[in-house]
A and B are shown apart, each in its own frame.
Chain A
Amino acid sequence: MRDQRSYFERADFESDFPPQFLVSIVGVTIVLLELGFAQWPFFYGAAPVLSLIFIYYMNIYHEKYIPVFVIFLMGIVGDVLLSDLLGGRATAFLLLTYVMQHRLARLQQSDFGWLWLDFSVSCAAISLFQLLLFSALNLAIPSLSPILFQLGATLILFPIGFVIIFTVYRLLQKVKIV
């Protein structure tokens, strides 16, 4: 009789690749969702940076499921679709991740209020970084009010995004096959 053992070997449930793949799809979808929000006249030229909330949360609590390539991909897709400076958003996201990695242990033990404050500073730093790059490369200063509005909208949506991602994670935990 033919040896059928290889057909019934247990699948590798411990692999990080499937959740990483899922996270990359969710990440790109969030970037597309941002573009959807941009179609609201209220958010004209200043849609909240939902992808930043996602990256921030994932970097703190599920770092191993969000490879740097996914962060790069989310930044580049945003740059291409928003026609921003190609690579500007991706560089900002990657630099934020780099800085966060050095403070990860402290952030993981912080309460929500502190995280919100830290996110506010990070978000402002990213906006400033992009503004400086844009001004240097275009030799022009764009209108600041949309940038500030975008910053404010992102900060306001941070707790909501945080709760949604947390809830989705808890739901996924429940359906996880052990």
Chain B
Amino acid sequence: MRVSDKARIRQRRIIHGVLIFLSFSLMFLGKADLSALRNIRMGSSDFLAPFIDFVSAPIRGIETMVEGVRTVASLRAENVRLQGENDLLKRWRRRAEILESENRQLRSVTGAAAVKNRIQITARAVTAPGGGFAHTVLIAIGGEEGIVRGNPVVTADGLVGIVIDVGRAYARVLMISDINARIPVILSSSSWPGLSVGQNGQFLDLQFLPDEATPKIGELVLTSGHGGVLPNGLAVGRVDQIKDGKIRVRPAVDLRNLSYVSVLTGGLDGIDNSNLDLADFYTPLPIDDTTRLLEGLNSSGQRR
């Protein structure tokens, strides 16, 4: 072995050691959630997002093609299913109109707060969760459009997540399926409060429900609005499975197929989101029984 080769190997080993130390340190610095590091991270995402778009274009093309072939193959069955669904929807629409009118009348009486001071801005989802350790998505909208940390992100089907980092033109959304996402919710028919917890998988866990609560399969789970970050009444999911005391919720939004989302801006006045740590992000429900005002109320406002 030549002297220059030995020197090269030694140099490579030193650099290797330094880089391992650096990346190991970054893990702890990243966990400390320093604002400078967050800015660098979001700046990098801002810079790289257009490249992801460019590289993903052929993959999206293939996906569209596959989807097209699959759709044609199942067209007949789909048509029959849609006709049935259409009849059902017509009935539901009539029912919804009646309920909407009733709801309006009840609000005027009870003074219940509707989602106000929130403006919807539509944005395109640039990425999707690619690993089993974090469920976040980058959206093509940022600080320039008035997006701030804490803004809820929704689709027509329900809640997707919440903005956790904002860059100039892009923002990162923590999805409800992420293990760090803890959302105060209520069961739609019985109004029992609980906490929806992500599992970094396709389903959510419903935790901290009172012992008296009896959730049913298919029951809708809505945001309760506790903590003030999220408006109340956004669909989170439906109870999918109850097994050994564990309640599994299927998200209302198909998180695997996110193309466009809406960010609800505004409405965060009075909430200190300057130092919004993930662990403290979703305010847990009060433990004191006397403060659980919604407990035991059904959707008609009657106590069970």
Contacts and interface: CB of A to CB of B under 8 A. Distances in A.
Contacts of A84: 131, 133-134
Interface in A74-90: 75-77, 80-88, 90
Contacts of A94: 16, 19-20, 23
Contacts of B177: 45
Contacts of B254: 41
B179 A138 contact: yes
B48 to A, nearest CB: 6
B55 A32 contact: yes
B129 A133 contact: no
Given A39-B59, A81-B52, A145-B201, A46 B23 contact: no
Q: How large is the interface on A (under 10, 10 to 19, 20 to 34, 35 or more residues)?
A: 35 or more
A140 B56 contact: no
Contacts of B60: 36, 39
A60 interface: no
Interface of B is mostly: helix
A58 interface: no
Contacts of B44: 77, 80-81
B45 interface: yes
Nearest to A130: B133
A32 to B, nearest CB: 4
Interface in B143-199: 172, 177, 179-180, 199
Counting chain B CB atoms within 10 Å of each CB, which of A29, A43, A44, A150 scores highest?
A44
Given A45-B129, A46-B130, 20 more contacts: A32-B51, A35-B128, A36-B55, A36-B58, A40-B59, A41-B256, A68-B16, A69-B19, A76-B26, A81-B138, A83-B136, A83-B172, A86-B26, A87-B23, A88-B133, A91-B20, A94-B16, A94-B20, A145-B201, A150-B132
